[in-house]
Structure 1
Amino acid sequence: MGSVNFITHADVLQLIAKRTAEDCIIFLSGPTSRKTPLSLLRMKDVIAVNGSVQYLLNNNVKPFLYLLTDVRFLHRRREDFYNFSRNSQFTIVNLDVYEQASVDDQKYIEENCLIIRSFYRREKGGFLKKIKFNILKRVHKA
């Protein structure tokens, strides 16, 4: 992997210029998301995260922006990622997803997506992490 070209100010300006509505809807895959009226989704720019795009595409709603934040999604549903990316106006991928992608997937991401520094890294809890947080909790109570 060479140097990564991160999303730039010019890229952000292009996203702003291409928007079609004054506001947008961030569409996640929770149970209440399907209660959002399809007519509203069709009138607004929709930002979809990970697998939530499937519902939109099944209902003829083209996402304005597809955001892939979870590397497990890429590893488990690679073909869906490619389909979702191709059927969205823009795709943004977190750096940690890019770093853990195969060489072929990295090439696709470099050529077709915008890469953003990670907002967070998903971490598993585990016994040691629980101990660490209990210690920190007690220290900060004192």
Structure 2
Amino acid sequence: MGSVNFITHADVLQLIAKRTAEDCIIFLSGPTSRKTPLSLLRMKDVIAVNGSVQYLLNNNVKPFLYLLTDVRFLHRRREDFYNFSRNSQFTIVNLDVYEQASVDDQKYIEENCLIIRSFYRREKGGFLKKIKFNILKRVHKALLISVPLSK
């Protein structure tokens, strides 16, 4: 693996410019997600995570953005990943997924997806973590993150 080109501020501006609605829906794969009216999903930009895209594509809803965060999904459902990526307007892949992908998958990701670096791993946080990320945001102006200090 060579040097990785991470998502840039220019990439984010392109995503913003290509949006079609003021609002977006983050669509996950829990049981309540299927209660979201299809008419609403068709009117808004939809960000779909991991395997949730299948339901959208089965119902003729093209995701605005497909986000792959789970390397197990890539390993177990590789062809689905390729299908979901090709049928979404944009695909973003977490660096952890990219690093654990095969050489062929890494090449596809480099050529067809945006790669995002993880800001944190799943861990307990709290108020001090929020302060830490707010300081990081202020020190590193290119870091695109919003961390509310409230609950």
Give the TM bin, normalised by the shorter chain: 0.7 to 0.9
Length, aligned pairs only: 142
1-side partners of 2:115 and 2:137: how far apart? 35
Deviation readout 1:66-117 (Å, 9 max, x if unpaired):
0000000000000000000000000000000000000000000000000000
Q: TM-score with structure 1 length normalisation?
A: 0.85
Where do 5+ consecutive residues of structure 1 fail to align?
none
2-side partners of 1:13 and 1:137: how far apart? 18
Does structure 2 conserve the Cα–Cα contact (< 8 Å) formed by 1:24 and 1:45?
yes
Structure with higher Rg: it is 1
2-side partners of 1:134 and 1:42: how far apart? 35
Where do 5+ consecutive residues of structure 2 fail to align?
143-151
2-side partners of 1:141 and 1:12: how far apart? 14
2-side partners of 1:68 and 1:136: how far apart? 25
Does structure 2 conserve the Cα–Cα contact (< 8 Å) formed by 1:93 and 1:113?
yes
1-side partners of 2:29 and 2:113: how far apart? 21
2-side partners of 1:29 and 1:62: how far apart? 16
Change (3 A) 1:130 1:68: closer
2-side partners of 1:111 and 1:141: how far apart? 27
Q: TM-score with structure 2 length normalisation?
A: 0.80
Equivalent position SS for 1:141: coil
Would you identify which runs of 4 or more consecutive aligned residues in structure 1 move more than 4 Å? 122-142
Change (3 A) 1:125 1:83: farther
In angstroms, what is the RMSD of aligned CA positions?
A: 7.0
1-side partners of 2:115 and 2:138: how far apart? 39
Give the deviation of 1:130 after TM superposition. 24
1:75 aligns with 2:75: yes
- Identity of paired residues, percent? 100
